Chain A
Amino acid sequence: MSSTAKDISKVSRRRAFSKTDRTTLSAFVGIPLFFHLLLVWIPAVLTILLSFTYWSGISISRIKWAGLANYKNIFFDTPAFWEAVKNNIVWLGWFGLIATPIGILLAYQVDRQIRGHKFYETAYYLPVVLSLAVTGIIWDFLLRPDGFINGLMGRDIDNAFSFFGNYDINIYVILTIASWRHIGYIMLLYLAGLKSVDLALREASSLDGATEWQTFKKVIFPSMKPVNIIVIVITIIESLRAFDIVYIIYGSRGGLPILGTLVFSNIAGEGASMKGAAYAVILFVLSIGPIIAYLRATFKSDVQ
């Protein structure tokens, strides 16, 4: 955007604002801002403060300063934390290297209108309509020891194939389930982006003799930068905030530790302690760090 355009818009805006406009605008900005602060930022700041305290969540007068004790506890005395970090990293790796690329590939194929693309589009998009909790319930019915798949394999509950209880494979079982939904989600996002790519670009590249892969890599992909950023950010966020499926399948105790369930199991119920708040802060820092870094890098290159 050139600087003159900016100046013009500034000037015209100043001129056009009547008193009513200003009231309307401040209401439109102010009310959401108020709720945003009230429901997002104030709780976030309170959570950060509480993570430095001992508190069972009951009666404010009982809050006691704990300094870094909760963090010390997590980093040095809680092996579940490091297991959870490992699982979240595996999750991120799987989404970033497998699920998201598959989603992009599908979007590209559907956009090329390969045979049966309408079917693929619907089939892959269908899971996205379901919440992750429902996804978890469906797959639990399928894969549990007395579930559908074990029934098909003719296995009874006493010799059922272990999908959720075998710790060599269960993270991948969960990731497959999560991908079932994630792939469709990414496909849809990417498809929307691809629809907006100028057809002339494609024609030009094919006239120049580029292969399908070269067209995608050199022409389509770079022209989709805004969508790519969204896809990357969503992949990171989805991997770190993962909670629903694991909670539905394993409950809040143990099972497959990931950061999301650790926050929950330490802050919900009778066992509530501000260790849960500390987990939440760690998760917050982990999620916001890469996102800010990425966005900054992107905007910088935009400005240049």
Chain B
Amino acid sequence: MSDTEKGISRRSVLKGTAVGGIGLAAGGSLLAGCGDKATGALAYGARSVDAGPTAQNEALIAAYTAKTKNEVKYNATESNAFQNNLSQYLQGTPDDTFEWMAGYRMQFFAEQGLLADLTGVWDAVGDQYSESYKIASTGLDGKQYFVPKSWYPWGLHFRKSMFADLGLNADNVTNWDEYLKMLDGMKKKGLVGFAAGDKGGWEAMGTFDILNARINGYQFHVDLLAGREKWTDAKVTEVFTYWSQLIPYMNPNVLDLEWDGAMQLLLQRKAGSMLMGSWFGGNFKEQSEADYADLSIIPFPEINPEHGRDTIDAPIDGWCVAANGTNNDGGADFLKFAGDMEGVNATLAATDKDGKLIPMTSANSGQDTASYDPFQKEQLAVMAEAKYITQFLDRDTRPDFAGPVVGPAIQSWFKNPKDVAKIQETLQSQWEALPPLA
């Protein structure tokens, strides 16, 4: 994925990351105690209570314990609750290692000294990851604080069987006009064209991201999220203009549905397409193998030929070690195992209650892409077409802006799509009213 390297590194530079620091040979003193020596029992904080991830974690932990004899205490929290409590959790008595996200959201906590330095882990397993992942795992001080587990792309998802029934060919949906024409055809058949939900306040951020990147390009998008461009810019107005062209093809109850509601529309064949992260494929698989096999993804269509389809939201999930944990060495030792192909294989071998493998696209380059199922291969193709990788709006901008400001602003746009100018002004004034960064 050499293409992706460029994307993340450029973005990181723009964000002021000291990329120069990445190459530093790290001391690895933290991990001096690792290796064959037992590092003792540790606690693992999971950011999900869903069946799939839980089975994966259990398999990984079992393999780690079998190898090292170190006991691992497993604490799982529902993901929203986990995120809401993270600051307090990390300042209190956190688990030694916990699940988190790469990029800005990791850097924010690393900056505050709440994450343990993982350069030692990277010394041990770093050669199994492409440079882009290392950069996404690196804090502003040039040290690594994160070990990636998996990635997923955001793209247009649809059901192959529905496209076949409608006589559509996904290869012919490459630009905006073709896409609108397709949506129109779906509407005439009584279908929802573009399944959307934004009750959770974050779902539609993905649509904003991709429209902004398609219309105004990667550079403008990252500059906007970093505050170097203004939300009142006519280019942002343009994003909402295009977005409003999708409204007639959306389900009317966008603010009633969360992501899973939108997914239901696709699952129940009531909607023809949905923009979402491919992670929900696991839910299709839980439903039935046939539903999963029917699922397909293509890149969001081109709008501005100047930018083509060169940008994609592809968030990376993984782990950190909490600096305030009781056993930092143990946490790092665990991540050395989890990040190594040995741990990745243990995770990939996890099965659900029906004994079926749980799909995962690992960040580790050791996972043989030939072993990918067809849907995963499509994800890889979508990813490979992109030149620039972004994480996601709420992972790419200040946390006190994304959640409390952008989320409600997009919701109020859904309430009244004519209010664009007012919404843009509010976004800009609230950006300017943010406290200075420490």
A contact residues vs B (CB 8 Å cutoff)? 54, 56-59, 62, 64, 66, 69, 72-73, 76-80, 144-146, 156-160, 162-167, 250-255, 257, 265-266, 268-275
Pairs across A and B, CB under 8 Å, 11 listed: A62-B112, A69-B435, A145-B253, A146-B264, A157-B261, A160-B256, A251-B199, A270-B399, A273-B435, A274-B435, A275-B404
Majority-rule SS of B interface residues: helix
Please indicate the chain B residues that have their CB under 8 angstroms from the CB of A54 in the complex.
Answer: 435-436
Q: Specify the chain B residue showing the minimal Cβ separation from A257.
A: B408
Residue in B86, B87, B398 whose Cβ sees the most chain A Cβ within 10 Å: B87
Given known pairs A69-B433, A254-B408, A271-B403, the reply for A77 and B256 (CB within 8 Å) is: no
Fill in one digit per residue for B403-438: 1 if any A CB lies within 8 Å of its CB, else 0.
110011001100100000010001001101111101
Given known pairs A162-B252, A270-B105, the reply for A253 and B407 (CB within 8 Å) is: yes
B363 near A: Cβ within 8 Å? no
A66 to B86, CA, bound (A): 24
A162 to B87, CA, bound (A): 35
B400 near A: Cβ within 8 Å? yes
Please indicate the chain B residues that have their CB under 8 angstroms from the CB of A158 in the complex.
Answer: 192, 251, 265, 268, 270-271
Given known pairs A253-B404, A265-B404, A270-B87, the reply for A165 and B253 (CB within 8 Å) is: yes
In the complex, the answer to whether A269 meets B87 with C-beta atoms within 8 Å is yes
In the complex, the answer to whether B256 meets A255 with C-beta atoms within 8 Å is no
A64 to B437, CA, bound (A): 10
In the complex, the answer to whether B438 meets A157 with C-beta atoms within 8 Å is no
In the complex, the answer to whether B404 meets A62 with C-beta atoms within 8 Å is no
Please indicate the chain B residues that have their CB under 8 angstroms from the CB of A159 in the complex.
Answer: 252
Residues of B175-232 contacting chain A, CB below 8 A: 192, 199-202
- Residue among B83, B112, B192, B254 making CB contact with A269, cutoff 8 Å: B83
Q: Specify the chain A residue showing the minimal Cβ separation from B251.
A: A158
Shortest C-beta distance, B206 to chain A (Å), equals: 15
5 tightest CB-CB pairs across the interface, nearest first?
A253-B201, A165-B256, A254-B408, A165-B255, A270-B399
- Residue among B83, B251, B253, B422 making CB contact with A270, cutoff 8 Å: B83
Given known pairs A164-B199, A253-B201, A266-B404, the reply for A271 and B399 (CB within 8 Å) is: yes
Shortest C-beta distance, A214 to chain B (Å), equals: 48
In the complex, the answer to whether A77 meets B430 with C-beta atoms within 8 Å is yes
B279 near A: Cβ within 8 Å? no
Given known pairs A252-B84, A271-B404, the reply for A56 and B112 (CB within 8 Å) is: yes
